[in-house]
Amino acid sequence: MRRIKIGTRASRLALWQAQFVAAELKKIFPALEIELVKVRTTGDKILDAPLAKIGGKGLFTKELELQMAAGAIDLAVHSLKDMPTELPTGFKIAAITRRAQPFDAFVSNKFPTFDALPKNSVVGTSSLRRAAQILSLRPDLQIKNLRGNVETRLKKLDAGEFDAIILSAAGLERLGYSSRINELLTEIIPAAGQGALAIETRANDEKIFSLVQKLNDAETFAAVKVEREFLTEVGGSCQIPVGVFARINGGQITVRALIASLDGKKVIKASEVAPLGKINLGKKIAAHLLENGGREILSELISP
């Protein structure tokens, strides 16, 4: 192949991600011509409401998939945490790049650490997962919805709308904002796939699939497979506070996961260490959480 078109959202972070994938492909295929095609998604258009209220993860992928189906682009680059666990018929994840920093970052102009926040401090996040875990650790804090791209969120913090905000550390690092990170919140379990980039293609496009497969990181792929398997079992979406993180060390995989109530008062956690390649590890840890209080939390969340 001589020329391909990569679809991407138009935010600076999304463009960085698409440009990163393009650069990695050029290293392997120097003669390849690559064009980036900007696509505005529903999630980019609706910025005045929490994601949980407007539809969740598919808001950031649907328009890109429509462009792929029409042949306007050959592949799309996504933050893996923004992708639904079930893709529409006709599409597949062809590669997942090596994972960057998986944890959330605490960012504040006033306070050096999360623990240093005074009572009733206002913390910004658009994630139910982050909000629930923050409240479980610090029920004295106030959570305020925060939407928009990374720059918009930082500007709102700088304008004094929040005492602190919680963002993906990987996004901050990719955009050159590492200095804004006060600390990594390793106690807060990340979203499935956080820190990893996914390359989505048409399911029947073997040429594009074989091209981007060169960028697949086997270790990251194995870890996020467990995370997304867990998410599938618990019905994970933007509408429920769940987190899961798998890390591979040598021949073992360590998984941490949780299901929480919106107010953080009920938090069911589990962790497991198993040999790498153990079948259905994501399903196993999901079943454990559901059987030990998680199912009751989820039923409360989805009840009318």
Give me the CATH number covering residue 90. Answer: 3.40.190.10
In the chain, DSSP finds a helix count (H) and a strand count (E) of 11, 13
**Residue 250, domain member (yes or no):** yes
Give the pLDDT confidence score for residue 54 in this predicted structure: 47
pLDDT digit string, tens, across residues 180-224: 999 999 999 999 999 999 999 999 999 999 999 999 999 999 999
Q: Which two tokens stand for residue 63?
A: 């328009």
Q: Which of 100-114, 239-253, 267-281 has the largest mean confidence? A: 100-114
**Residue 224, domain member (yes or no):** no
**Residue 207, domain member (yes or no):** yes
**Residue 201, domain member (yes or no):** yes
CATH assignment at residue 265: 3.30.160.40
Note whether 94 and 18 are same-domain residues: yes
Note whether 292 and 174 are same-domain residues: no
Give the pLDDT confidence score for residue 225 in this predicted structure: 95
Q: Tell me the torsion sign for CA atoms 286, 291, 294, 295.
A: positive
151 Cβ partners below 8 Å, 6+ apart? 12, 175
Q: Has residue 144 got a pLDDT over 90?
A: yes
pTM: predicted TM-score of the whole model, two decimal places: 0.90
Note whether 84 and 144 are same-domain residues: no
**What is the arithmetic mean of pLDDT over 66-89?**
94
What range defines the domain where residue 267 resides? Answer: 230-302
Calculate what percentage of the chain has a pLDDT beyond 70. Answer: 92
Q: Which of 223, 197, 227 is nearest to 212 (CA)?
A: 197
Number of domains forming the structure of the chain = 3
Least confident of 18-27, 58-67, 161-170: 58-67
**What is the arithmetic mean of pLDDT over 271-278?**
88
pLDDT digit string, tens, across residues 228-249: 999 999 986 667 899 999 999 9
**Residue 61, domain member (yes or no):** yes
Note whether 82 and 211 are same-domain residues: yes
Note whether 149 and 259 are same-domain residues: no
3-state secondary structure of 261: coil
Q: Whole-angstrom Cα distance, residue 245 to residue 78?
A: 18
Note whether 277 and 158 are same-domain residues: no
- Residues marked as catalytic: 82
Least confident of 131-140, 201-210, 292-301: 292-301
